Amino acid sequence: MALSRPRYSKIERLASDLLSESKIKRPPVPIEAMVRSRDIEIHFGKLEDVSGLIVREGNHVFIGINEDDSDNRQRFTLAHEFGHFLLHPGQNAWYDRKYRSEISSKAVDVEEIEANFFAASILMPPDFLRKDQAQRYVDIEDGDAVKDLAKKYNVSTQAMNLRLLNLIGRL
Ligand SMILES: [Zn+2]
């Protein structure tokens, strides 16, 4: 199945449904527990130039994460692979190489854009950010404030910055 463009609203709904099903109401989102609750096996290991991969063999699903990446990066990659699992059932394996930036605008394939968008949506949900912004408004120009917010969500400052940019007018 070739997708012509990313299914943004479907993906946002999916992420928000998963969070409410798991009764997760505040950051940081326990992405590892969410993935494991689906009987997906996660392994952390040395993967050289691969940041993450997912392989399906029948009912067995296996995600590999590069342990040499930063913790934030590993969380984002795990959420990205989980996105492939949920959104792209037709394909049995994905290998995501390191040169792929977590900035989705640099992703080339629609599937990669979708997996990145899913990762951003589940790790930095609009509802959570809206509450944070109501308590203490974070100006995107304020580097220290964005950094603090990123820490709270266990994501990179770069990922948070991009997320806030994408959500301008919605928070
Ligand atoms: Zn991918």
Cα Rg, the chain, nearest whole Å: 15
In this structure, are residues 24 and 31 in contact, taking their beta carbons and an 8 Å threshold? no
Question: From ligand 1's centre to the CA of 87, what distance in Å?
Answer: 11
Query: What's the gap in Å between 80 CA and the centre of ligand 1?
Result: 6
Q: What is the pTM assigned to this prediction?
A: 0.92
Query: For 18-31, how does the pLDDT look when each residue is reduced to its tens digit (9 = 90+)?
Result: 999 999 999 999 99
Distance CA 32, CA 17 (A): 17
Could you report the per-residue pLDDT of 96-109, keeping only the tens digit for each?
988 655 554 445 68
Q: Ligand 1 centroid vs 96 CA: distance in angstroms? A: 5
Residues 6+ apart with CB under 8 A from 164: 129, 138, 140, 146, 149, 171
Matching residue, tokens 């934030």: 72
Residue 166 has φ and ψ, to the nearest 5°, of -70, -25
Distance 78 CA to ligand 1 centre (A): 10
CA distance 100 to 33: 25
> What is the pLDDT confidence band of residue 54, given thresholds at 50, 70 and 90?
very high
Output the CA 151–ligand 1 centroid distance in Å: 24
